[in-house]
Each structure stands twice: as C-alpha cells, then as structure tokens.
Amino acid sequence: MQIIIFGSPGVGKGTQAKILAAKLNIPHISTGDILREAIKNRTELGKKAKEIVDKGELVPDEIMGGIIKDTLNDIKCKNGFILDGYPRTTNQAEILENIFKTIKTEKHYLIKLDADDEIIIDRLTNRLVCNKCGNILNNTEVKENFSCPVCNSVNSYAKRADDEEDVIRRRLKVYHKTTAPVFNYYRDKAEIIEIDGSLPIDKVTEEILIRLC
Ligand code: AMP
C-alpha cells in the first residue's frame, strides 16, 4: 500500500504515520526525520539543510527529489510505504509522479489531516521529542525522572529547534502558501481520505483505517 500523509506541520502526520506503518507493516518515510538525522551527523546534506530547516523554510526541490528517489528505490519500500512530509511543493509532487512511473505502483492513497492553526501552535509549542526513539511527548506529561513510555529512557527529551513559536508561524505560512495547493494536484491522481486532525489520536487512526479498508 502506498500512502502519502498530508497536512500542516503539527497536524499529527508523524504520529499517525508511525502507527499506520506498524499496523500495515510498511516503512514510514519522513523527510523531516531524514534531514534531522543528516543535520545531527553533520553530513554534506545536513550542512546544506541546517540553516533552512532551523528557519522553517523548505529545502530545495532538487535536494529533496534525490533523497526521495534513493529512498523509494530501496528494497524496503517494494511492498509499499507511508510518505510523511513529502511532497511539499507541486514540483516535488511531479518528481514523485515520475518516480511512481519507474517503480511498481498500485493505486496510491493521500490522507489529508486538517486542524486550525491555533490548535497547531498550541500543540507544537508544547511538543517534546524523545532523544532516543523519537516518540512525541507533551510538555505537560514530562515530570522529574520522566521515562519515555516507548523506550523507557529517563530524562532524555528535547524540544525541536524549529518548534519555537516564531519558526512555527513561519512553517505554517510556508504550508498555506506553498504546500496546501499541492492537494489539488492529487484530486484526480490518488484515493483521497480527509480526516479531522484535531480529534484524539486513536480516533484519527480508527477513521483512517476504516477508510483505507
Ligand atoms: P517535518 O519534520 O516534516 O516538519 O520537517 C521539518 C523541516 O524539514 C521542514 O520545516 C523543512 O525545513 C524540512 N523539510 C522536510 N521535508 C521537506 C520537503 N519535502 N521539502 C522541503 N523541505 C522539507
């Protein structure tokens, strides 16, 4: 099954993609995670991307196209994948369509999650991420000697550099101007599933699974 999960930053794409990847037994490909890993390891890609990601801007399409091509051509993706954070421009969507022509593709799904910007700002300003396993946490649940419910690591969490309010607002602006219009590109190319991303996590998953089957 080939799935694109689409929506604004903080709408729950990563959370749902992780759950769906485990349930459907397909890899979760997050371009944001790929870039953060490259930045952490100070690779050539990381050096090029750091300043752009920290400012909440988009990494150029040629760079992202190369990453996505290499990733989707990997054997791990041969039985499907869930793509989170790509495409973010219409040009990226066209690059992806060309990749789909070269790999064996079935009908693909586009899951669109929506939530108001104020909900997103509230979520992201309170978001923490486990340093060890990437599990997403909320500021209010993290107390002294906090242990991650997924990997049990103690007191090992951080705020993403791009989760500061001014950068969140910048990312939302970029989303509305450049990424949201990409949805139109898929109207006649994918099976579209639209879900209210402000619902509780398990409810969103349930709704998605009903619509996928
Ligand atoms: P995310 O984790 O999906 O919120 O992505 C974090 C940041 O990585 C974004 O704000 C962008 O700076 C960069 N990024 C991730 N995916 C893409 C993409 N497809 N195109 C351009 N930049 C991206």
pLDDT digits (tens, 9 = 90+) for 27-64: 999 999 999 999 999 999 999 999 999 999 999 999 99
Integer Cα distance of 13 and 196 in angstroms: 12
In a domain? residue 27: yes
If one counts the domains in the chain, the total is 1
In a domain? residue 169: no
Q: For residue 174, report the distance from its CA to the centre of ligand 1, in Å.
A: 11
pTM: predicted TM-score of the whole model, two decimal places: 0.93
Range of the domain at 8: 2-116+179-212
SS3 category, 164 = coil
64 lines ligand 1 (CB under 6 A): yes
In a domain? residue 55: yes
In a domain? residue 168: no
What is the set of active-site residues?
13, 88, 127, 160, 171
172 lines ligand 1 (CB under 6 A): no
pLDDT digits (tens, 9 = 90+) for 138-157: 998 888 889 999 999 999 99
Integer Cα distance of 95 and 72 in angstroms: 12
Q: Which atom of ligand 1 is nearest to the CA of 86?
A: 19
35 lines ligand 1 (CB under 6 A): yes
Integer Cα distance of 26 and 2 in angstroms: 9
